[in-house]
Amino acid sequence: MSASKPTFTIDLALLGLFRQGPLHPYELFQQLQQPDGLGSVWRLKQSHLYALLDRLEARRYLTHRLELQGHRPPRKVLSLTPAGEAAFAEWVVTPVSHGRDIRLEFLTKLYFARREGPVVAAQLLERQIGCCQRWLDKHTQRGEALPEQSFERLVQQYRVGQIRATLAWLEECQETLAVFGV
């Protein structure tokens, strides 16, 4: 398998769970079930998780060692590699490029950015606000250029409303993080 970048957000997000140290796959699966963490953003079946971990290991973002357990079969313990560390560090501060990615990908990035510290979280939020502002400008201009009675203009107005709501929420996030220093 090639060493190209993963195409799914979840691949890179999983790397963030290894930032605090090695984990075995079932331990990772249990962490993902916690409702006050990523469990409130997305669900992942255990078999899918194991396939993703195999893919990350094939891309050399993770490495493993076998841990002996007495009479039971040895268990695999995974660790982040320098390549995995670099891929995660780039991913966590890169804004999402589509509004539809806010709910899963951005929330996942925000979860990890907060764990990385207030500077990383602030950087991600600032970049995402800039990206959303560009989307807002683009869709506002498109809508204004269309005939008032057109369906396409209604679609642009809907998108503008969504982007404005997202921007307001991102600004609330900034305020919350500033107040609590998270």
Chain segment 170-181, per-residue pLDDT in tens: 999 999 988 877
At 64, the pLDDT band (50, 70, 90 cuts) reads very high
178 and 100 share one domain: yes
At 6, the pLDDT band (50, 70, 90 cuts) reads very low
82 and 120 share one domain: no
For residue 1, pLDDT beyond 50:
no
3-state secondary structure of 18: coil
48 and 66 share one domain: yes
Distance from C-alpha of 82 to C-alpha of 88, rounded to nearest angstrom: 10
CB 17 within 8 A of CB 37: no
CATH number at residue 57: 1.10.10.10
At 24, the pLDDT band (50, 70, 90 cuts) reads very high
The residue among 38, 67, 92 that closes a domain is 92
For residue 3, pLDDT beyond 60:
no
106 and 168 share one domain: yes
120 and 135 share one domain: yes
The residue among 76, 92, 108 that closes a domain is 92
Mean of pLDDT over the chain: 91
Distance from C-alpha of 152 to C-alpha of 75, rounded to nearest angstrom: 56
List 76's β-bridge partners, or say none.
66
Burial-class residue 149 by CB neighbours within 10 Å (0-12, 13-18, 19+). Answer: exposed
pLDDT at position 87 is 95
- Range(s) of the domain holding residue 172: 94-182
3-state secondary structure of 76: strand
Chain segment 69-109, per-residue pLDDT in tens: 889 999 999 999 999 999 999 999 999 999 989 999 999 99
The tokens of 178 are what? 């500033």
The residue among 92, 119, 146 that closes a domain is 92
Burial-class residue 121 by CB neighbours within 10 Å (0-12, 13-18, 19+). Answer: buried
Question: From the CB of residue 182, how many other CB atoms can be counted at a distance below 10 Å?
Answer: 13
101 and 164 share one domain: yes
